[in-house]
């Protein structure tokens, strides 16, 4: 890894991936094909890109049952416990509406209700992600979403991975479809003969999925445009170099575009971590991916002070931020921008990916400056309610009319005043 002095502007900062003109055009064509042809387009694209000859898009209950029967019992127990942890955490996010009553008999209120349907995208391709099923489905269930749909690309045999099927089985999800990429997003947004459209689409994916979500946004709600995975680590001499290196590589193995950054005041630790990364990456099954990530988007920054490290972390606003210092809790208190913060030696980032209960669908590309992890809040809507009494209207209608005329909106003013005219004519 490159070791360099920390400057005011971090060279590692990247822009949101907009895709090439060719990728964007391809996504638009895929969306139009799905809207025009429905299932036929999905089946054709499965054959073209997934090399899968599908006779049906929907996963059968028999497929789910067989996957559960052949699944390793210990892994089943582990996934079940992880699901319980995730559910327990997200239940703390449940919101109640409220009502403010006023002395004049009027009230204002807010009602919180779940969206009716959600489509949850689970990536496939280079790896299968049952954890993504848990992370997307559980907050939707806690929110009370009535219809939950999961889509994921099939393998060349036309199957979803056993892990994905078993995760869905644990959660009681029976509406699963074998379709991925931009075509899956189009199907969820606009519907086909088999897949009914949904109100919101969540879940990460490759550049084609991200571009498709951007294209359908507005016709359907989306959670975020996710970019490549990121990890930043603030560490001092109390940290172990091999552990820091392992945590950096935990994200580098996701994608050649993933970024892994160490922020430290210790030149000695920086050199030790660089050596450990070089040694460990060579032993990984996904060595080529991790090595490319480290080479192109990895860096070690050495600063003169703790304040510089904290400022740099807030500049990065990383998806994942680990703090491996003697005063980790105090450092964490000074972090304003991060998708998720992992405090202390034993809080390795993968713990959040799988088991702690927090959600691993997180903002990337510095969008943690203004956005948050996927949560129950993403699956509910809040409705404002106004009930004005006659007394409140009488006391305030002239004020409201004046404010409307201030903005040049005469019809607004007359709408409020019209009640007065009726009252006078009736008296």
Measured CA to CA, the distance from residue 342 to residue 154 in angstroms comes to: 34
- Annotated active-site residue 319? The verdict is yes
DSSP string covering 356-386: SSS------TTGGGT-----GGGGEEEEEEE
pLDDT at residue 90 is higher than 70: yes
pLDDT in tens, 376-392: 999 999 999 999 999 99
Q: Taking residues 284-301, what's their average pLDDT? A: 96
Nearest residue to 354 (alpha-carbon basis) of 96, 145, 167:
167
Name the token pair of 181: 């990429």
Q: Given 215, 319, 322, 349, which residue is catalytic?
A: 319
Q: Is 251 annotated as a binding residue?
A: yes
Q: Is 410 annotated as a binding residue?
A: no
Report pTM. Answer: 0.93
Q: Which position has the token pair 């099939």? A: 154
Q: Outline where DSSP puts E strands in 115-257.
A: 117-121, 147-152, 176-178, 200-202, 221-222, 230-235
Q: Is 229 annotated as a binding residue?
A: yes
Q: Is 426 annotated as a binding residue?
A: no
Q: Is 206 annotated as a binding residue?
A: yes
Strands of the 380-387 sheet, one edge to the other:
98-101, 107-114, 380-387
Measured CA to CA, the distance from residue 115 to residue 380 in angstroms comes to: 5
pLDDT in tens, 320-373: 999 999 999 999 999 999 999 999 999 999 999 999 999 999 999 999 999 999
Q: Which is the CATH superfamily of the domain at 228-370?
A: Nitrogenase molybdenum iron protein domain (3.40.50.1980)
Q: Quote the pLDDT of residue 236.
A: 97
Q: Quote the pLDDT of residue 128.
A: 78
Domain coordinates in residue numbering, the chain:
18-95+111-224, 228-370, 390-420
Q: Quote the pLDDT of residue 16.
A: 47
Q: Is 353 annotated as a binding residue?
A: yes
Q: Is 121 annotated as a binding residue?
A: yes
Q: Is 240 annotated as a binding residue?
A: no
The pLDDT-based confidence of 195 (bands split at 50, 70, 90) is: very high
Name the token pair of 158: 């036309």
Report in angstroms the alpha-carbon separations of 179 from 63, 68, 186, 231.
16, 21, 10, 30
Q: Taking residues 264-287, what's their average pLDDT? A: 98
pLDDT in tens, 405-415: 999 999 999 99
Measured CA to CA, the distance from residue 384 to residue 111 in angstroms comes to: 7
Q: Given 320, 322, 349, 360, which residue is catalytic?
A: 320
Name the token pair of 188: 């969820």
Indicate the SS3 state at residue 261.
Answer: strand
Nearest residue to 180 (alpha-carbon basis) of 125, 254, 256:
125
Report in angstroms the alpha-carbon separations of 25 from 22, 48, 192.
5, 17, 21
CATH number of 18-95+111-224: 3.40.50.1980
Q: Is 360 annotated as a binding residue?
A: no
Q: Taking residues 95-99, what's their average pLDDT? A: 95
Domains 18-95+111-224 and 228-370 share a fold: yes
């Amino acid at each position: 890894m490159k070791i360099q002095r920390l400057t005011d502007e971090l060279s590692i900062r990247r822009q949101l991936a907009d895709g090439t003109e060719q990728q964007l055009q391809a996504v638009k064509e895929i969306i139009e094909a799905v809207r025009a042809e429905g299932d036929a387009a999905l089946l054709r694209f499965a054959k073209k890109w997934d090399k899968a000859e599908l006779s049906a898009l929907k996963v059968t209950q028999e497929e789910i049952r067989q996957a559960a029967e052949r699944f390793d019992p210990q892994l089943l127990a582990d996934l079940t416990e992880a699901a319980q942890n995730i559910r327990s955490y997200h239940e703390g996010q449940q919101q109640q509406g409220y009502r403010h009553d006023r002395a004049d008999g009027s009230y204002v209120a807010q009602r919180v209700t779940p969206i009716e349907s959600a489509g949850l995208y689970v990536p496939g391709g280079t790896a299968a992600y049952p954890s993504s099923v848990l992370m997307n489905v559980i907050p939707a269930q806690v929110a009370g979403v009535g219809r939950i749909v999961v889509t994921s690309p099939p393998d060349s045999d036309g199957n979803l991975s056993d892990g994905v099927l078993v995760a869905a089985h644990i959660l009681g999800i029976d509406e699963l479809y074998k379709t991925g990429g931009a075509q899956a997003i189009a199907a969820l947004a606009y519907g086909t003969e088999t897949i009914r459209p949904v109100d919101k689409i969540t879940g990460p994916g490759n550049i084609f999925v991200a571009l498709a979500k951007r294209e359908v946004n507005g016709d359907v709600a989306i959670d975020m445009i996710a970019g490549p995975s990121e990890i930043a680590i603030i560490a001092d001499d109390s940290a172990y170099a091999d552990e820091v290196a392992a945590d950096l590589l935990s994200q580098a193995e996701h994608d050649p575009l993933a970024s892994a950054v160490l922020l430290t005041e210790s030149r000695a630790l920086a050199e030790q971590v660089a050596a450990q990364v070089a040694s460990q990456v060579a032993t990984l099954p996904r060595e080529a991916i991790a090595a490319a990530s480290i080479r192109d988007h990895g860096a070690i920054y050495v600063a003169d002070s703790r304040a510089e490290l904290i400022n740099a972390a807030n500049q990065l606003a990383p998806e994942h931020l680990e703090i491996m210092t003697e005063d980790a809790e105090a450092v964490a208190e000074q972090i304003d921008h991060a998708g998720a913060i992992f405090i202390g030696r034993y809080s390795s980032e993968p713990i959040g990916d799988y088991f702690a209960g927090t959600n691993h669908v997180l903002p990337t590309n510095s969008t943690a400056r203004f956005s948050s992890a996927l949560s129950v809040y993403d699956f509910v809507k809040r409705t404002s309610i106004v009930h004005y009494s006659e007394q409140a209207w009488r006391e305030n209608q002239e004020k409201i009319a004046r404010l409307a005329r201030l903005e040049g909106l005469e019809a607004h003013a007359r709408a409020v005043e019209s009640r007065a005219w009726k009252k006078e004519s009736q008296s």
